[in-house]
Amino acid sequence: MAIRLSEADSDYPPRERSQLGSVMTNGAPIVGLIGGAMCLISGLWALFGRMDGNFGSIRGRWNFLISYLGSERLAYAFIWDICFYIIFQPWLIGDNLQNVQKSKADIVNYLRFVPVVGLIAYLLCLNVDDEL
């Protein structure tokens, strides 16, 4: 990876957005809504799903989660992924605030520090009219 520290060359106009780039940018609010819904459903299911089938109370599920995270290497690696996500989400969204609708930039600026919620806010408020 390279970091560009110089200004953009004014002799060359920016390239047009590819079809894939257009689909990804125009579909960002849909991805945000679907991703947010899946996170909400997953969290609610982890807490309340199949309570009638002897899958344990909330306290029992919490104890299982703690023991699982302490015993499984894959779960331990997943915790590190979550930590990196918490670190990098505010940084990456903060560097791209110019792509957010001007009227909603302040709220996205604050929500970028809340994992997942900041990403959903960014995707919902992305300004799809601007060129890259």
Predicted confidence (pLDDT) at residue 17 exceeds the cutoff of 90 = no
Give start and end residues of each alpha helix (H) in 27-103. 28-48, 58-71, 73-95
Amino acid at 92: L
Give 22's pLDDT tier (boundaries 50, 70, 90): confident
User: Is the model's pTM score more than 0.75?
Assistant: no
pLDDT tens track for 81-91: 999 999 999 99
- Measured CA to CA, the distance from residue 117 to residue 32 in angstroms comes to 9
